[in-house]
Amino acid sequence: MGFVQRALFTWFILLVFLILLCLRLESRISWNWFLVFIPLWLYDTILITWVVIEIIQRQRIISFRHYEYYVAGILLKIVSQIAVCLKLEYNSIPLYAMMVPVWCLLAMLIVYMATNLQPKPRSIGSNKSSRQTAGGAGASSSS
């Protein structure tokens, strides 16, 4: 599936969720909040399936540490959706307890961004171009 198809599918899922959310908030439907969140549960299921397939396919090339942030992010997103549904449907948990998975997800995203956006250290001899190291005398005579 190409990038455009994935983006369109994501927007379609979000559109269906927002329609159900608006209908529920305007009291046009009296569904359970867990049913309103079905489009997001479907999307999360597809995401988990994709991550598991990627881990299995690239098991020998890339270690699991490459995907641990993805798995943790998806699981924290699911837990936060469950907490929101529990809060909206039963009002059984306090607001701060409902927000704990969201705060953990945000902290994890900050750590992920901080570790992956910093420039990688370069070795001392890495400033040479590939032509100088591979070309030999022919590359040096052209300057």
**What would the pLDDT profile of 33-75 be if each residue is shown by its tens digit?**
999 999 999 999 998 898 888 888 877 666 666 678 888 888 9
Give the Cα-Cα-Cα angle 37, 5, 34 (nearest 5 degrees): 5
Under a CB-based contact definition with an 8 Å cutoff, are residues 40 and 81 in contact?
Answer: yes
| Residues 56 and 67 both lie in one domain | no
| Residues 39 and 20 both lie in one domain | yes
Amino acid symbol at 141: S
> How many Å from the N-terminal Cα to the C-terminal Cα in the chain?
47
0.85 surpassed by pTM: no
Whether residue 5 is contained in a domain is answered as no
Q: Tens of pLDDT along 90-136?
A: 998 899 999 999 999 999 999 888 888 877 777 666 555 555 555 55
Task: Single out the residue of 2, 67, 81 nearest to residue 39, CA to CA.
Answer: 81
| Residues 22 and 53 both lie in one domain | yes
d(CA 43, CA 34): 14
Quote the domain boundaries for residue 95.
Answer: 63-117
| Residues 69 and 100 both lie in one domain | yes
| Residues 28 and 52 both lie in one domain | yes
- Residue 52: its pLDDT value, please? 84
Cα 50 to chain centroid distance, Å, stands at 11
| Residues 40 and 75 both lie in one domain | no
Q: How many domains does the chain have?
A: 2
Whether residue 73 is contained in a domain is answered as yes
- Residue 62: its pLDDT value, please? 63
- Residue 108: its pLDDT value, please? 92
